[in-house]
Amino acid sequence: MITEVGPMMRKVSRDGCGYSVVELHDVRHVLAVAVPRGGGDLRAQAVDALGTIEAVHEEESTRGSIVHQAVFVPTPELVAPCRRIIREFYGEEQPATSYVVQPPCDGKLLAIEALGVGRGMGEVQIERFGDQAVRVTHNALSWVHCANVTPSEGASGVYDQTLSAMSRMRAMLAKHDIGFDRIVRMWNYLGSIVEDDDGVQRYKEMNRARTAFFEGVPFLEGCQVGLSRPAEVYPAATGIGMQGRGLMLGCIALATEDRPDIVAMPLENPNQTAAFQYAAAYSPKSPKFARAMALSCGGFATIFVSGTASIIGSETVHPGDVEAQTHQTLDNIAALIGEPNLRRHGLPGLGATLDSMGVIRVYIKRQEDYQKARAVCRARLGDLPMVFAIADVCRPDLLVEIEGIAFSRRA
């Protein structure tokens, strides 16, 4: 099934795969989600899903353009063999790939979300540095994708592990000539996220370390051209659980030195308290992230939507009801990316709707809630490419969290 969403996006749904094609600044972006169509061992399922994504890019004339992937697997033991299979498959064209230990909800051994930046229209340069870093340059913009960043082996405890992993990310970005302060989107995957270490919740310790590391970092200074700079600027981010007790980070950073017309604007939700203003009851050091990051250039905008849940103000709503929480989460995203909120942030005409989403991830706390959450998402989002994975959310009473990317064009 093919769905046209205005002049810049179309969505395609077929067996084992859904994808969106976005024409943005003469560059084709392909956002695909694939799950294996059959059973078999890990290799059989992985090759099936990878082949499906490859066929999509053949069809869209964007072969060799995949720059960033998230691969979801059910157990830590599958990460190493899955990484070997994917390295064999891509050869010299490795995307920046994070291996997320979150069981796919449909029971498969993996699910894949892949972002491609096509070479079929505008001039695009892709530089690959193994499977942890890729730099993409087009229209005088330089994007660096980092994936699968973990702490050094000597780091112990969530606080030290977070500082170690962020230091490694900063060094990785610097190696590719981009500053840590240029990050527009982050992912923080934390094993056993709501459990305690020595009487302190692991998520709260991650927030404490993130606050310390971000201290004094002038995120995106100079990018809010012609707009008043918010008092606090942080990247869009997701902090979500995974199996085991490890920690892994990923990010997207953007250099815009030769494009003073680019506006990077962190968005807050009119119906929610900013996460960095949460009271100490939620975390002694509040989570330092923006609800979304809007990147605009002229008449176009890309909006990275952070992990979003069923929260009004700073309180969880609809505890115990996954359908109501899923609806509320989607309502929160709609309010966040909608025209009134974009106008409030100084970006009139660049508001989006749920139909403008190009891809989403749906993190579900309990396997038994999968079908209910999926039904709500399908009813409201149609053929949008979606990943559904089992993951603990950062509060015990939150049952679902959703993130994604939206695209808009000024009429």
Residue 379 CB neighbours (<10 A): 11
Say what the alpha-carbon torsion angle 185, 228, 337, 121 is, to the nearest 10 degrees.
Answer: -60
Please state at what angle helix 370-381 crosses helix 322-337, rounded to 10 degrees. 30
Cβ proximity of 71 and 53 under 8 Å: no
Q: Tell me, yes or no, if 401 is annotated catalytic.
A: yes
CA-to-CA distance for 236 and 245, rounded, in angstroms? Answer: 24
CA-to-CA distance for 98 and 79, rounded, in angstroms? Answer: 10
Tens of pLDDT, residues 360-373: 999 999 999 999 99
CA-to-CA distance for 42 and 63, rounded, in angstroms? Answer: 24
CA-to-CA distance for 352 and 11, rounded, in angstroms? Answer: 16
Half-sphere exposure (Cβ direction) of 392: Cα atoms closer than 13 Å: 17
- Give bridge partners of residue 295 from the DSSP assignment: 264, 302
* pTM of this structure: 0.96
- Give bridge partners of residue 191 from the DSSP assignment: 242
Say what the alpha-carbon torsion angle 322, 324, 330, 331 is, to the nearest 10 degrees.
Answer: -160
- What contacts 12, CB < 8 A, 6 or more positions away? 1, 2, 3, 18, 19, 20, 21, 56, 383
b/e sequence 231-257, b meaning 16+ C-beta within 10 Å: eebbbbbbbbbbbeebbbbbbbbbbbe
Q: Splitting the chain (411 residues) into consecutive groups of 10 residues, what average pLDDT does each group show?
A: 68 90 90 95 98 93 93 98 98 97 98 87 86 94 96 93 98 96 98 93 97 96 67 94 96 87 93 94 93 92 98 97 98 98 95 97 98 98 96 96 96 77
Tens of pLDDT, residues 279-323: 988 899 999 999 999 999 888 999 999 999 999 999 999 999 999
Cβ proximity of 30 and 21 under 8 Å: yes
Give the active site residue among 23, 54, 113, 401.
401
Of 6, 2, 1, 102, which Cα lies nearest the Cα of 355?
Answer: 6
Cβ proximity of 156 and 62 under 8 Å: no
Q: Where are the domains of the chain?
A: 2-409
pLDDT for 7 equals 58
Distance of CA 34 to the CA centre of its chain: 16
Q: Strands 386-390 and 357-364: what pairing?
A: parallel
Residue 198, Ramachandran bin (φ over 0: left; ψ between -120 and 50: alpha; else beta): left
Q: Strands 236-242 and 183-191: what pairing?
A: parallel
Of 234, 317, 302, which Cα lies nearest the Cα of 268?
Answer: 234
pLDDT for 225 equals 47
Here the tokens at position 406 are 């939206």
pLDDT for 63 equals 87
